[in-house]
């Protein structure tokens, strides 16, 4: 069973002394020595180096720009949430923004957000929220009715059914001539989609610490008792048919199943001290959000996200040496209207802008020659609240645009 949950922000500190909480319990947390030791071992691994760095001569661990949840083998949860300007360092708002970013990333319906009264007046670990979202979808499937399909089976029966397999009949029933080795189609709920859902229910029942979630995980397993567990996740996911008629309501549940069973976040780590993790680089979540936002803003245009690479440099033999791939291209017919990149970076003053980013955008200008704009999108910060315009030496212009991430709490994206 799970122990305490410790929540910090992106770039927050973790340590074992009282000093670490001198600023804010959201940006920095004091944790038991047992937890700190587990995380130190993780941080020294190759995977862990992407998530934490050492600070204060090794006295503290500082989170990098991965957000999500980590469960240690000793049963503790560590949550890392986005650092959002204007969020008053609020765990609640940061958690809601993180969940909205995931909804957009996986193109999940707005209805996934749980409004259950059991979750209104208590702080719930992110992992348990993920599990409850999955359970909502499974409950919806069961309410609509578990889908069955024709599954090809082979069996040695006392009666003839389907197609007699002559070679197997001779091999297996040389003595027992009263039996028939046959191949037939059986209409059964034991299809791959249901097997994956049942396997996810079983897996989550072993890692959840919520009484209500565990109750539902076990109850739903019993409800689909006739369905087997998946023996090969990879093969079964390939066989899923969520785009066929009558299977649309399975789609969201199977997205969650893939996240849990195949650890299909952008980064999933485990190791000697880590039992389970779902972690995402904020850069990727921000890019996904900006793609969605631009699609809403330019609904009558073509919005392309990292779609193809254009050669920037080639040698005398026409061998391609370097290429460019903008995060976003917006086209109006055959014309390039806007070319942009999204950078998850805190801008405090002009010196915070990256020279390489501006070089990159100048390359875009040279190749695409957008009619309307070159843009760099950054998250809004204390030192960057309004758009800033810059001019290159050739007269072309670029605009750096701050994005208020709190819009995710207020606007129905």
Q: Say if 35 falls within a structural domain.
A: yes
Mean pLDDT, residues 217-230 taken together: 95
Residues 307 and 391 in one domain: yes
What is the reported pLDDT for 114?
Answer: 47
Residues 173 and 210 in one domain: no
Range of the domain at 172: 154-183
Residues 205 and 331 in one domain: no
What is the reported pLDDT for 158?
Answer: 75
Tokens (6 digits) for 178: 């009263």
Q: Does the pLDDT at position 97 exceed 70?
A: yes
Question: Of 204, 199, 196, 202, whose CA–CA distance to 278 is shortest?
Answer: 204
Phi–psi pair at 299, nearest 5 degrees: -65, -25
Q: Which of 30-44, 112-126, 303-317, 337-351 shows the lowest mean pLDDT across its residues?
A: 112-126
- How many residues are recorded in the chain? 413
pTM value > 0.85? no
Q: Could you give the CA distance from residue 19 to residue 341 in angstroms, rounded to a whole number?
A: 39
- The domain boundary, picked from 221, 252, 282, lies at 282
Question: Of 223, 222, 220, whose CA–CA distance to 212 is shortest?
Answer: 220
Q: Say if 105 falls within a structural domain.
A: yes
Q: Say if 308 falls within a structural domain.
A: yes
Mean pLDDT, residues 384-409 taken together: 92
DSSP state of 89: T
Question: Of 60, 76, 74, whose CA–CA distance to 27 is shortest?
Answer: 60
Q: Say if 287 falls within a structural domain.
A: no
Q: Could you give the CA distance from residue 213 to residue 70 in angstroms, rounded to a whole number?
A: 18
Residues 302 and 373 in one domain: yes
CA distances from 343 to 89, 104, 339, 400 (A): 21, 17, 14, 10
What is the reported pLDDT for 268?
Answer: 59
Q: Where are the alpha helices (DSSP H) in 54-191?
A: 91-105, 126-144, 166-172
What is the reported pLDDT for 115?
Answer: 46
């Amino acid at each position: 069973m799970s122990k305490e949950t410790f929540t910090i922000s992106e770039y927050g500190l973790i340590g074992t002394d009282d000093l670490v909480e001198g600023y804010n319990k959201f940006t920095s947390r004091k944790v038991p020595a047992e937890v700190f030791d587990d995380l130190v071992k993780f941080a020294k691994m190759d995977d862990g180096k992407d998530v934490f760095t050492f600070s204060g001569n090794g006295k503290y661990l500082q989170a990098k720009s991965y957000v999500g949840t980590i469960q240690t083998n000793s049963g503790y949860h560590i949550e890392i949430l986005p650092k959002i300007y204007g969020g008053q360092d609020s765990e609640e708002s940061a958690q809601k923004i993180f969940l909205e970013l995931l909804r957009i990333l996986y193109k999940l319906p707005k209805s996934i957000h749980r409004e259950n009264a059991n979750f209104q007046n208590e702080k719930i670990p992110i992992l348990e929220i993920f599990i409850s979202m999955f359970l909502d979808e499974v409950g919806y499937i069961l309410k609509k009715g578990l889908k069955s399909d024709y599954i090809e089976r082979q069996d040695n029966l006392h009666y003839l059914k389907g197609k007699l397999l002559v070679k197997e009949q001779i091999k297996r029933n040389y003595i027992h001539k009263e039996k028939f080795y046959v191949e037939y189609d059986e209409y059964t709920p034991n299809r791959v989609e249901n097997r994956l859902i049942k396997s996810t229910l079983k897996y989550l029942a072993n890692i959840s610490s919520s009484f209500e979630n565990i109750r539902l995980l076990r109850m739903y397993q019993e409800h689909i008792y006739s369905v087997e567990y998946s023996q090969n996740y990879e093969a079964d996911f390939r066989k899923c048919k969520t785009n066929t008629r009558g299977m649309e309501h399975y789609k969201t549940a199977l997205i969650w199943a893939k996240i849990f069973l195949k650890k299909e976040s952008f980064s999933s780590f485990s190791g000697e001290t880590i039992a389970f993790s779902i972690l995402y680089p904020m850069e990727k979540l921000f890019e996904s959000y900006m793609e969605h936002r631009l699609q809403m803003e330019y609904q009558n245009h073509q919005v392309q996200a990292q779609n193809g690479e254009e050669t920037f440099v080639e040698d005398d033999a026409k061998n391609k040496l370097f290429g460019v791939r903008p995060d976003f291209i917006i086209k109006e017919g055959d014309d390039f209207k806007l070319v942009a990149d999204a950078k998850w970076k805190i801008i405090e003053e002009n010196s915070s802008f990256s020279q390489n980013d501006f070089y990159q955008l100048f390359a875009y200008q040279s190749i695409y020659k957008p009619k309307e704009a070159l843009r760099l999108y950054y998250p809004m910060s204390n030192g960057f609240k309004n758009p800033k315009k810059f001019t290159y030496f050739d007269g072309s212009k670029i605009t750096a645009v701050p994005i208020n991430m709190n819009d995710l709490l207020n606007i129905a994206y």
